[in-house]
């Protein structure tokens, strides 16, 4: 079933919980397929079996067999098993069991029309204060208060989220204006960003952007070759890096509200951090 999903364009999975979520999705689709075929066959049988030409007089007693009750009970049991056994534990883990370990990467993401502002707390692990009055769309979209000592080592980026692989990521998501939705298809993550609320979400990326590029290139090489008519890759997009897609229609520029998630190895991530940090302390006004 999962192979079929992928053939139909389902994105690759690149997070820890994503694997289990896909597995559950596959079970749901198996159940739906069985129901579709089962009920469809039964419907056609009934149309034939009780056709008017052979049954001119209605039978007022109806069906006496218990078979359909058993079938329905079976369906209910299967659905309860899916909800209680798979869906609820998975969801509970997403909303109750936030990572609290030391190696958790904590980031704030603030959506606005039409960009994703990313805020890292820096080495001190404390987010600098932000004020509405300090917001300057060009130079300080987050309104970071530059007089706050905790803000000295903070890193901010626009539309670029850098994450190390295999470490839990905890994102505090909010919005400056309207409702947006933070979606990374490969991470199986999607969460509305709501003004006035700070909503936590978490996941563990398991494949770096570079590795994913290789996986996707390899996987789609044949498909691309077969569809490559007159030099155009028909409908097959090349993977560059993971993307944050805004999944709520949030205004005229919604289509352009695209961010990038760079999943790096720990060394690459440290390099990136080291590169960002001195710039901030040397020239504090670059924001």
Q: Which residues lie near Cu ion (CB under 5 A)? A: 180, 246, 250, 257
Nearer to Cu ion, 105 or 257 (CB): 257
Residue 111, strand partner residues: 116, 175
**Residues 169, 107 contacting (CB under 8 angstroms):** yes
CA 63 to chain centre: 47
Nearer to Cu ion, 108 or 180 (CB): 180
Q: How far is the C-alpha of 70 from the C-alpha of 78, rounded, in Å?
A: 12
Residue 74 CB, shortest distance to Cu ion, in Å, is 43
Nearer to Cu ion, 119 or 180 (CB): 180
Residue 256 CB, shortest distance to Cu ion, in Å, is 9
Nearer to Cu ion, 242 or 269 (CB): 242
**Residues 159, 115 contacting (CB under 8 angstroms):** yes
CA distances from 248 to 141, 174, 258 (A): 21, 14, 12
Residue 157 CB, shortest distance to Cu ion, in Å, is 17
Residue 4 CB, shortest distance to Cu ion, in Å, is 31
Nearer to Cu ion, 143 or 195 (CB): 195
Residue 225 CB, shortest distance to Cu ion, in Å, is 36
Residue 125: other Cβ atoms inside 10 A? 11
Say which residue the tokens 């509305």 belong to: 192
Residue 246 CB, shortest distance to Cu ion, in Å, is 3
**Residues 130, 198 contacting (CB under 8 angstroms):** no
Nearer to Cu ion, 166 or 192 (CB): 192
What is the DSSP secondary-structure string of 214-236?
A: HHHHHHHHHHHHHHEETTEETT-
């Amino acid at each position: 079933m999962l192979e079929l999903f992928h053939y139909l364009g389902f994105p690759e999975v690149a997070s820890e919980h994503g694997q289990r979520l896909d597995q559950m999705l596959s079970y749901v689709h198996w159940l739906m397929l069985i129901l579709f075929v089962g009920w469809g066959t039964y419907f056609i049988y009934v149309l034939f079996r009780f056709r008017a030409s052979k049954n001119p007089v209605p039978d007022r007693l109806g069906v006496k067999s218990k078979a359909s009750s058993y079938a329905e009970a079976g369906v209910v049991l299967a659905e309860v098993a899916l909800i209680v056994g798979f869906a609820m534990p998975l969801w509970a883990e997403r909303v109750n069991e936030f990572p609290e370990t030391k190696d958790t990467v904590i980031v704030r993401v603030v959506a606005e029309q039409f960009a994703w502002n990313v805020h890292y707390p820096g080495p001190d692990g404390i987010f600098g204060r932000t004020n509405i009055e300090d917001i300057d769309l060009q130079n300080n979209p987050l309104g970071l208060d530059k007089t706050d000592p905790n803000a000295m080592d903070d890193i901010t980026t626009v539309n670029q989220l850098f994450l190390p692989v295999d470490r839990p990521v905890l994102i505090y998501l909010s919005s400056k204006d309207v409702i947006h939705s933070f979606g990374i298809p490969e991470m199986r993550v999607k969460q509305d960003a709501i003004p006035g609320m700070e909503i936590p979400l978490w996941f563990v990326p398991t494949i770096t952007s570079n590795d994913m590029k290789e996986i996707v290139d390899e996987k789609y090489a044949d498909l691309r070759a077969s569809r490559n008519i007159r030099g155009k890759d028909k409908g097959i997009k090349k993977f560059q890096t993971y993307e944050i897609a805004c999944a709520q229609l949030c205004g005229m520029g919604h289509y352009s509200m695209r961010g990038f998630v760079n999943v790096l190895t720990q060394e690459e991530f440290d390099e990136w951090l080291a590169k960002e940090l001195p710039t901030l302390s040397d020239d504090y006004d670059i924001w």
